Copies of this chain bind each other. A is one copy, B any other.
Amino acid sequence: MSFSSEDLAAIDTPAVLIDLDVARRNIERFQHYADQHGLRVRPHIKTHKLPAIAEMQLAAGAVGITCQKVSEAEAMVAGSRAITDVLITYNIVGAEKLEHLKALARKVTLSVVADSRAVVDGLSGAFRGEPQPLTVLVECDTGANRCGVLTPEAAEALAAHIHASPGLVFGGLMTYPPAGGEAAVERFMEEAKSRIEARGIVVPVITSGGSPTMMHAAEAPVTTEYRPGTYVYNDRSLVSRGVCGWDDCALNVLATVVSVPAPNRAIIDAGSKTLTSDLLGLTGYGHVLGRDDIMIDQLSEEHGRLVSQGPIGLAVGDKVRIVPNHACVVTNMVDAVVVTGDGRATPEKWPIVARGKIV
């Protein structure tokens, strides 16, 4: 990262550091792959929650952004006039959220997903009196076992229901792919698309997403659009999957050693309130850059415990830089990040405007 040692010495810890030059390289790498394969890019902003980074993604060629909740989309749209096209990949349920959705639809090109008639009927009830219909995609479960209709037949039936619903227009198919599941995505989506088109309904978009498998996105050629999130920053989880290296990690946590109670143990001032307890299948809570021998084996809310097989070699007051297991959840823990790169002489503090937007 391009923070100087003077920069790092001056930053109060724990702090979340962002290198915009690394982020830009990550953005351009996937945009280039997508351009080569005729895929549109619609990044998920959950990873950065920053309008300024969404603007970098749009400037690189993204067609719009993806958000997960209405309040998250509201914060992003309020933060940048460049954000004019938003997909919320979530079932929107409840009167209050539907009111917010209607207000947002008057400001930007908006689409959402649904995986049941109950959700579609709620959306139709809210939008049947609106000047513009709402675009609704069918969420499909291609193996991730979270939300989504389970079969192409069910996708067809729900697409037809959306198509027939006042206030709505059918926008296509959406999925979050299972691990290594491009073949499953292709099989499901091809069949669902054929069935829906056989009814005379157009399928304008087939959108998939997820950073772990993004460089294989073109292996499901039925896909028209891809929604990577973590790729902008990368993290220990993606390094462990071989998707990137440590130098591609644009987000680091800077922490200070506050205790060295035993020769092989040190305690830092970043705990689960900064690094989070997300393991994503890994052992330990992050990677200390330059110290492959160290394991972060335990977190309390404000303490991280570092252990080494040999001498820990750290003193009270030393600073360490950590690549967290999962970048997106770390962004959500802090009110601001410390940003460098893009020609800046000194680091800047950027508030995370879409942090904590859970409704």
A→B interface (CB under 8 Å): 12-15, 46, 68-69, 90-91, 93-94, 96-97, 115-116, 118-119, 122, 141, 145-150, 256-262, 265, 267, 269-270, 272-274, 276-279, 298, 300-303, 305, 315-317, 328-329, 332-335, 356, 358-359
Contacts and interface: CB of A to CB of B under 8 A. Distances in A.
A146 B359 CA distance: 36
Given A147-B261, A272-B278, A277-B277, 6 more contacts: A12-B94, A93-B316, A115-B261, A146-B261, A147-B258, A147-B303
Given A272-B278, A277-B279, A93 B258 contact: yes
B147 A272 contact: no
- How many copies are assembled? 2
Nearest to A154: B261
A359 B91 contact: no
Closest 6 CB pairs of A and B: A118-B316, A277-B277, A91-B258, A147-B259, A12-B96, A68-B302
12 contacts: A118-B317, A119-B258, A145-B305, A146-B305, A147-B303, A148-B259, A269-B359, A273-B332, A276-B277, A277-B329, A332-B333, A334-B358
Given A91-B316, A118-B316, A146-B303, A274 B358 contact: yes
A108 B259 CA distance: 26
Nearest to A257: B93
Contacts of A149: 261
A94 B9 CA distance: 10
A317 B94 contact: yes
A336 to B, nearest CB: 10
